[in-house]
Copies of this chain bind each other. A is one copy, B any other.
Amino acid sequence: MVNETQHICSTSSSSKSDGGSSSGSESSKDSSRCSTPVLDADRHERLREKMRRRQDSGDKWFSLEFFPPRTANAAVNLISRFDRMGAGGPLFIDVTWHPAGDPGSDKETSSMIIANTAVNYCGLETILHMTCCNQTKDDITGHLQKAKRLGLKNIMALRGDPVGEEWEEEVDGFNYAVDLVKHIRNEFDDYFDICVAGYPKGHPEAESYEADLRHLKEKVFAGADFIITQLFFRSETFLKFMKDCQAIGITCPIIPGIFPIQGYHSLRQLVKLSKLEVPQEIKDVIEPIKDNDAAIRNYGVELAVSMCRELLDSGMVHGLHFYTLNREVATTEVLKRLGIWKEDPRRPLPWAVSAHPKRRVEDVRPIFWASRPKSYIYRTQEWDDFPNGRWGNSSSPAFGELKDYYLFYLKSKSPREELLKMWGEELTGEESVFEVFTCYITGEPNKNGYKVTCMPWNDDPLATETNLLKEQLEKVNRRGILTINSQPNINGKPSTDPIVGWGPSGGYVFQKAYLEFFASSEIVTALLKVLKKYESRVNYHIVNVKGQNITNAPDLQPNAVTWGIFPGREIIQPTVVDPVSFLYWKDEAFALWIEQWAKLYEEESPSRMIIQYIHDNYYLVNLVDNDFPLENCLWQVVDDTFELLN
């Protein structure tokens, strides 16, 4: 538990001089002219600018703190949590520095890699904590360089806990957080946004509350951009602290750290480490219910909500920082009750945007990875240019290989036993595979009574949008058109549409109907005959695992299948069906049959051989109906195909 409350309890201190609002020269240069599409100003701004913009607009915000997990499985779960809690619209998340856990390493569980995943794969603005005591200058510079390389743009500069009781200052060493702030500004100029810690009751090791305020001022004047505070139990504590800061000339944003009490044990642990005193009125409530976790959590939520309301009502507080302890329920509940959890925040693009600065111009992707965005990001991480406007202009033809297939963020979230229950302990033929696909679509339990909530190609249940097509999808999957991706046609719905909307308000979004599936060669032969009738209305790509490829796409050009028209902007076409990248996707789509499904079974077992047979003999097909204003003709194409087969 000690590690898990890293920053909350970190007994760091120290500081210097206001860099408060040095304006971001880097991003303003980029936003000057011509080079970017930019649907969302967020994609361009530095964190400190986003914070200022939200403050100016009066729009309240929140942020979430997490600590790195101990095991790879826990990391997979934490990343799912990033996605779920990210959906509520945090301004940023932060990941604590875990000195005992090799925090700067490439391990799946290191602070560095978890923060990397949050930025690049989950698209979250992220602050990486970093402590400096007991570390060499070279180590620290190395960590910072690595963070920059990975696309991290924000550092929380902390002292960290000195090891051992008898700690002595090192001459020329990093003794206080202020030393780290100065070092970052010296070595990396204005590249990073820097956050420092504030202690509303004064740091436990400081000579006095006043001395601690002076330390904080030093940190700010050394170049910190904003302050996040240690937790506290009464709103007055924070509001007094804030006034005191302002009185001595600290003008940067100060964000209160909120700790919703989630259990008796974690509270005691915290108190011990942080040397904070729990007010008697809280102790009085908690002691009698200390064995009732639910009751304590409810109380914690109540307490946090009322304290947050007081803070927000004061007019001095614009954002709230939550110590989540890597848990979802309490924090989410508080945020929802405060009304600042934005259930369906505006999507800047119809897919999750990576927050890596290098990818900021990216606004076109092939539709194939729609359900595997992390895999797409992973396989394109070495690209130097990202497509901007047109798919073809700057996209690299080289996708990352599949050899690192097992990377933890590409793995299924579900353990083997669960997958077997969903996909069948024993398959009896291709039809039992059809059934699995059908159950996934319908949401009905399979014949053993289990719901199929994921598939090798979709780690999550059916998207709301796909639900629009449920009935037709069920019908075709039952007959062996095994769908893995689809979208309905959309002829100009408002960009604020809750299901298909994306981009700034006042715009209109469009889609061409899309259907992607595996099917036997028998079906494909009939399909090809049927497709002749549809000529250029339907574009198709049909490929098997060996790469035999049949298409009517003109000159290997990409086909835009999602686009949006917005006030004062160029057209944005975020998803395309690209013939070349389809062949890269094909490798991944076929490999998932084996890696995720066939390998659940013993070698040479009939179940495994059935999957292997499908892998070896089926075709992967995609169809686009180009005539988006008319009724989607793809179901007719499929019906005609089945009719021809009968």
Q: What is the interface of chain A, defined by CB distance below 8 A to chain B? A: 31-38, 41, 388-393, 395, 397, 491-492, 506, 508, 510, 536-537, 539, 552-560, 563, 565-571, 573, 576, 580, 624, 626-629
Contacts and interface: CB of A to CB of B under 8 A. Distances in A.
Contact of A36 (B392, B508, B559, B628): B392
B626 A570 contact: no
Contacts of A571: 560, 563, 571, 573
Nearest to A562: B571
12 contacts: A31-B555, A33-B397, A35-B392, A388-B390, A391-B570, A506-B536, A510-B565, A554-B568, A558-B569, A559-B568, A565-B628, A567-B627
Complex A-B, nearest 5 residue pairs according to Cβ-Cβ distance, in ascending order: A34-B392, A389-B390, A567-B626, A389-B389, A536-B567
A569 B559 CA distance: 4
A393 B389 contact: yes
B580 A568 contact: no
A388 B31 CA distance: 20
Most buried by B among A34, A36, A41, A506: A34
State the majority secondary structure of interface residues on A: loop
A555 B492 contact: no
A507 to B, nearest CB: 8
B32 A556 contact: yes
A407 B506 CA distance: 44
Q: Which of A31, A41, A393 has the most chain B CB atoms closer than 10 A to its own CB?
A: A393
Contact of A34 (B393, B626, B628): B393
B580 A34 contact: yes
Nearest to A567: B626
A278 to B, nearest CB: 49
Contacts of A38: 555, 557
Contacts of A565: 510, 560, 563, 628
A570 B576 contact: yes
Contacts of A629: 492, 508
Contacts of A566: 626
Contacts of A36: 392
B555 A570 contact: no
Contacts of A41: 555
Contacts of A556: 32-33
Given A537-B506, A629-B492, A392 B33 contact: yes
Contacts of A552: 568
A571 B560 CA distance: 6
Contacts of A558: 34, 569-570
A556 B30 CA distance: 12
Nearest to A579: B33
A566 to B, nearest CB: 7
Contacts of A393: 34-35, 388-389, 393
A567 B513 CA distance: 12
A362 B532 CA distance: 33
Nearest to A628: B565
Nearest to A564: B571
A551 B31 CA distance: 17
Nearest to A555: B31
Contacts of A35: 392-393
A570 B553 CA distance: 12
Contacts of A34: 391-393, 395, 397, 558, 580
B576 A573 contact: no
A94 B602 CA distance: 74
Contacts of A389: 389-390, 393
A389 B34 CA distance: 12
Most chain B CB inside 10 Å of its own CB: which residue of A552, A558, A580: A558
A389 B387 CA distance: 11
Given A558-B570, A568-B626, 18 more contacts: A33-B397, A33-B580, A34-B580, A41-B555, A388-B390, A389-B389, A392-B570, A506-B537, A506-B627, A508-B628, A510-B565, A554-B568, A554-B569, A557-B569, A559-B569, A560-B569, A560-B570, A567-B627
A58 B561 CA distance: 33
A405 to B, nearest CB: 27
A570 B573 CA distance: 8
A390 B626 contact: no
A508 B560 CA distance: 13
A552 B389 CA distance: 23
A57 B179 CA distance: 76
